[in-house]
Amino acid sequence: MFKFGLYPVTIEPCEEGGYFAKCPAFQGCYAEGETYAEVINNIEGVIKAHIEDMKKNNEFVPSFTVKKPCFASLNIPIPIRV
């Protein structure tokens, strides 16, 4: 059995290129990346760092228990040259 934290993340394209991600569950939790994969990886690292800091400060970290595998659906815009 695993414990997971489920946190909403918003990803938006930047005007100058790349992507910006933020996790409103944690103040100051944001990241940038050149690609979707990079920004997702970066925001995951920032969320983990926030959780580790919360644990060190004995703060409550919300989580839930998953008893069986779960699946997620994600829509990712892919630019295609026409």
Domain CATH number, residue 41: 3.30.160.250
Q: Does a structural domain hold residue 77?
A: no
Render 56-69 in DSSP notation, one character per residue: HTT-----EEESS-
**Domain range holding 33?**
2-66
Q: Does a structural domain hold residue 79?
A: no
pLDDT for res 65: 54
Confidence of residue 79 (pLDDT cuts 50, 70, 90): low
Q: Does a structural domain hold residue 72?
A: no
Q: Does a structural domain hold residue 6?
A: yes
- Comparing 12 with 65, the larger pLDDT belongs to 12
pLDDT for res 7: 82
pLDDT for res 22: 93
Q: What pLDDT, in 10s, does the model give residues 7-47?
A: 888 899 999 999 999 988 888 999 999 998 999 999 999 99
Q: Does a structural domain hold residue 76?
A: no
- The alpha carbon torsion through 12, 37, 80, 11 (nearest 10 deg) reads -10
pLDDT for res 67: 59
Domains held by the chain: number = 1
